[in-house]
Amino acid sequence: MPSRATVPAFRPLYRQIQDLIVQALADREWLPGEMIPSEMDLAARFEVSQGTVRRAIDELAAEHLLVRRQGKGTYVATHADPRAFFRFLRLIPDDGSVPRSRSEPLECQSLRAGQEVAKALAINHGDPVLQLRRILRFDGEPVVVDEIYLPADLFPNLTLDQLRASDRSLYTLFESLFGVRMVRAEEKIRAVAADAVAAQVLGIEPGTPLLSVERTAYTYGNRPAEWRRGLYATANHHYFNELG
């Protein structure tokens, strides 16, 4: 008679199947964009009923790890899907238009994690990290300047040239070059005044109010794999959020 009050004494089968599928994803058994085996095949493989596999996949699809397509199959989600882009960048033009966005990398250097970065990435103070700086433009107009920190071991030999050569989103690049897929993120938002550097880069007056958006992004298994601070110009754009 166990006396563990806090630990859920019981783990449903479909959650165990869910874990096995996530493990297979983390092990790159199926790559982003690829189709995974049918529900029947997975049921046979895990020796459970199709309904149990179905429930596991349902939850993973709700978390955007998988994508169901009726009549075709179930696919590994990918940032190459344009819908994924706006799930992570919530800045949109006030007029409702859909901008052509373009990332302009400025810098990519190796350095050691400071206190703040180490804590956010759950690594040790002094561990090697990559620092990127980049501008994001909407239809040519600079709207965001980002400072991005990555744990170096997950992104071996990432160079400024690689970043410049890509016309896709950063997360798409991380996914295809390093197999690191960002699955969810948390953001802390504040209002700050533009400093001289940000003002120059964004083409605004120093002191202009900007959104400061600090983000920690997580890959499979809730492992933090990126920390960034963005400064968003909100003269003609706004951060959109849905409260469910």
Partner DNA sequence: CAGTGGTCTAGACCACGTG
Partner DNA sequence: ACGTGGTCTAGACCACTGA
- What is the binding site for a copy of itself (CB under 8 A)? 63-64, 87-88, 90, 184-193, 207, 209-211, 215, 232, 234, 238-244
In angstroms, the CA 174 to CA 79 distance is 9
Binding of residue 70 to DNA (CB under 7 A): yes
Task: Pull the structure tokens for residue 169.
Answer: 């989103």
Complex with DNA: residue 52 or 216, whichever CB lies closer: 52
- The interface region with DNA, picked from 69-77, 98-106, 140-148, 170-178 by CB under 7 A, is 69-77
With CA atoms as reference, report the closest residue to 228 among 88, 85, 44.
88
With CA atoms as reference, report the closest residue to 129 among 104, 160, 108, 144.
108
- The interface region with DNA, picked from 63-71, 120-128, 158-166, 175-183 by CB under 7 A, is 63-71
- 8 Å CB contact between 100 and 139: yes
Pick the binder of DNA from 24, 33, 73, 90 (CB under 7 A): 73
Which of the choices a copy of itself, DNA, none does residue 176 contact, using the CB cut-off of 5 to 8 A by kind?
Answer: none
Binding of residue 172 to DNA (CB under 7 A): no
In angstroms, the CA 199 to CA 36 distance is 47
With CA atoms as reference, report the closest residue to 60 among 92, 36, 87.
36
User: Minimal distance in Å, beta carbon 33 to a copy of itself?
Assistant: 20
Which of the choices DNA, a copy of itself, none does residue 169 contact, using the CB cut-off of 5 to 8 A by kind?
Answer: none
Which of the choices a copy of itself, DNA, none does residue 38 contact, using the CB cut-off of 5 to 8 A by kind?
Answer: DNA
Complex with DNA: residue 75 or 174, whichever CB lies closer: 75
Binding of residue 207 to DNA (CB under 7 A): no
In angstroms, the CA 145 to CA 198 distance is 7
Task: Pull the structure tokens for residue 149.
Answer: 């920190």
Strands 209-219 and 66-69: unpaired
Can you tell me whether residue 79 is helix, strand or coil? coil
Which of the choices a copy of itself, DNA, none does residue 244 contact, using the CB cut-off of 5 to 8 A by kind?
Answer: a copy of itself
In angstroms, the CA 222 to CA 185 distance is 10
Residues in the site for DNA, rule: CB under 7 A?
8-10, 12-15, 36, 38-41, 48-52, 54-55, 68-74
